[in-house]
Amino acid sequence: MNSMLEDVLAREGSAPAFEDSRVDAELEEMLSKMRTNIKIIGLGGGGCNTIGRVYNEGIVGAELYACNTDAQHLLHIASPKKVLLGRRITKGLGAGALPQIGEEAAREAEEELRAIVQGADIVFVTCGLGGGTGTGSCGYVARLAKEMGALTIAVVTLPFRGEGKLRMESAEWGLERLRDAADTVITIPNDKLLDLVPRQSLNLAFKFADEVLMRSIKGLTEIITKPGLVNLDFNDVKTIMKGGGVAMIGLGESQAVGDNRAVEAIEEAINSPLLEVDVSTAHGVLINVTGGNDM
Tens of each residue's pLDDT in the chain, 295 residues: 555 556 655 665 555 555 667 777 776 766 666 689 999 999 999 999 999 999 999 998 999 999 999 999 999 999 999 999 999 999 999 999 999 999 999 999 999 999 999 999 999 999 999 999 999 999 999 999 999 999 999 999 999 888 899 999 999 999 999 999 999 999 988 888 777 777 778 778 778 888 888 888 998 898 888 877 777 788 888 888 998 888 888 888 888 877 788 888 888 888 887 776 677 777 888 877 777 777 6
Q: How far apart are CA 258 and CA 21, in angstroms?
A: 42
According to the model, what pLDDT value does residue 15 have?
A: 55
Alpha helices by DSSP H, the chain: 2-11, 21-34, 44-57, 71-75, 87-90, 99-108, 110-117, 133-147, 165-181, 190-196, 202-225, 234-241, 261-270
Q: Which DSSP string corresponds to 81-119?
A: -EEE--HHHHTTB--TT-HHHHHHHHHHTHHHHHHHHTT
Q: b/e map of 220-240 (b: 16 or more CB within 10 Å)? A: bbbbbeeeeeeeeebeebbeb
CATH 1.10.10.2520 is right for the domain spanning 35-281: no
According to the model, what pLDDT value does residue 59 have?
A: 93
Structural contact between residues 82 and 112, judged by C-beta atoms closer than 8 angstroms: no
According to the model, what pLDDT value does residue 17 have?
A: 57
Domain boundaries, the chain: 35-281
Q: b/e map of 7-35 (b: 16 or more CB within 10 Å)? A: eeeeeeeeeeeeeeeeeeeeeeeeeeeee
According to the model, what pLDDT value does residue 290 have?
A: 79
According to the model, what pLDDT value does residue 20 have?
A: 64
Q: How far apart are CA 25 and CA 35, in angstroms?
A: 15
Q: What is the pTM of this model?
A: 0.84
What amino acid occupies position 81?
K
What amino acid occupies position 213?
L
pLDDT tens track for 29-77: 666 666 899 999 999 999 999 999 999 999 989 999 999 999 999 999 9
Give the list of residues 6+ apart from residue 130 with CB closer than 8 angstroms, or none: 158, 159, 163, 167, 168, 170, 171, 174
What amino acid occupies position 233?
D
Q: How far apart are CA 29 and CA 116, in angstroms?
A: 24
